[in-house]
Structure 1
Amino acid sequence: MIKRGRPLLVVAAVGAFLIVAVSVVVVVSLIRDDVASRACPAQLQADESKVRSDRNWTEMDLPGVGDYAEVHWQLRAAGDPCLRAPGPTDWHYQGVIRLRPEDATALAQGYSDWQSVPVSATPSPGGYEWDTPSQMWSALVPFVPVGVSWSHSLSYANTQFQHGRWGDLYLDPDKTVAFFVLYDH
């Protein structure tokens, strides 16, 4: 005589174990996500306030800057990366680059339409599409030399920022410094 009830009991026990195990995994995941989502705004604020000096920016990102002497930059989230909704977050960058004199000169001579930028200039269609030096984030201001006189080339902006990033660049070739704004999208 074969006992048919025993295999059914084993299947039921395994099924119950799997239900409990999956439930535990789901609960732990929800708790971890909740803890991470509460920590995210503080981490984002810390990341956004940090002034970075690593050399992330290349000729591909900012054509004409060459092998610059130093850079100070910050990032800001254009949206809320702490939301649980899927999808990428767009990032906004600003930075001040200390150029080598020969690169500043070459950049200035490479475009014939550099125009002086008014101190209070703000974005406007057909002019300055993105942030201007007057909108520089306060933590970057100490890296700008005293007496800087920014200039802007619309042809540089139109020809250089068409490949996955939007942005602009302002230059003072005499002070060998540039201010950039970039938007990843």
Structure 2
Amino acid sequence: MRAARGASLSRGDDHGPTATHTYVRLFTVVAALTLLVDQISKMLAVQKLQGRESIELIPQVLSLTFLRNGGAALGTGAGFTIVLTAIAVAVTIGVVRVAPKLRDKGWAVGLGLLLAGAAGNLLDRIFREPAPLRGHVVDFIDYGVFVGNVADVALTLAAVLIVWRTWRGVGLDGSRQEKKT
């Protein structure tokens, strides 16, 4: 088998500077697009849903219900908004710091979604009422059990991807660990 001069014969050789750039770019695009969709959807929810009755999309399954959430998932931790803000800041900084090490598509997408989800809800906590750093997150996607937003969906998908890549033994840099039996 012949390869062009300087090209690797092995499959999956994506550990060079160009590859890193590709994965960081993927991470950035996923994060930026997801954050944009989150913020636009929240703006529309405030404009179109606030003060209205729920709008049923799929009976007994999915509706649009406007609420402001001062806590975490399912409204828990409402008294700890400032702590949740600090956690979101830490996650955002941590994800941005590890992004240059990315050399795996799954990790790039997962961390892009994680960044967008954390940043999307962080922006609400910083800029929305009742006060800076204590703002309530705009939620509007009602699943019947709880109400969330696009950032929450991104965080959930990020968790699934991160757990999956970790379970498969794939590192941020694309390296693979052999499973011990």
TM over 0.5: no
Q: TM-score if structure 1 supplies the norm length? A: 0.33
**Which is richer in helix?**
2
Which gives a bigger RCO, structure 1 or 2 (Cα 8 Å, sep 6+)?
A: 2
Q: TM-score if structure 2 supplies the norm length? A: 0.33
